[in-house]
Copies of this chain bind each other. A is one copy, B any other.
Amino acid sequence: MKKIECIIKPFKLDDVKNALTEMGVTGMTVSEVRGFGRQKGHTELYRGAEYQIDFIPKVKLELVVNDDLISKIVETVQKEACTGRIGDGKIFVSPVEQSVRIRTGETGEDSL
């Protein structure tokens, strides 16, 4: 079981979600984040003074899935979230040792 963390451009969320559900992913958790990276921020104007916004709004997608699905999911997300323009984001995969479904207490694969 592994966790796939994807940081993507907000407006790509729908496409990615749809693509994942089509390939049978049944669950994921999403959160609003702000990113800093190669894609430098922009300057804003406030009452005559300019200032730098370093952090750009991004969306973070977390899914915990069985190992066999990993490559397929990573591939899909990469394909769907890609605009080719700087700031598209990242995908990180990390180990998960245990999973529980709160409602039923099921653990492991069945809990996903």
Contacts and interface: CB of A to CB of B under 8 A. Distances in A.
A97 B31 contact: no
As for how many copies of this chain the complex holds, the number is: 3
Interface string A65-79: 000001000100110
Interface in A52-109: 54-55, 58, 60, 64, 70, 74, 77-78, 81-103, 105
Interface string A29-64: 111111111100000000000000011001010001
A36 B31 contact: no
Interface of A: 2-3, 6-8, 17, 21, 26-38, 54-55, 58, 60, 64, 70, 74, 77-78, 81-103, 105, 111-112
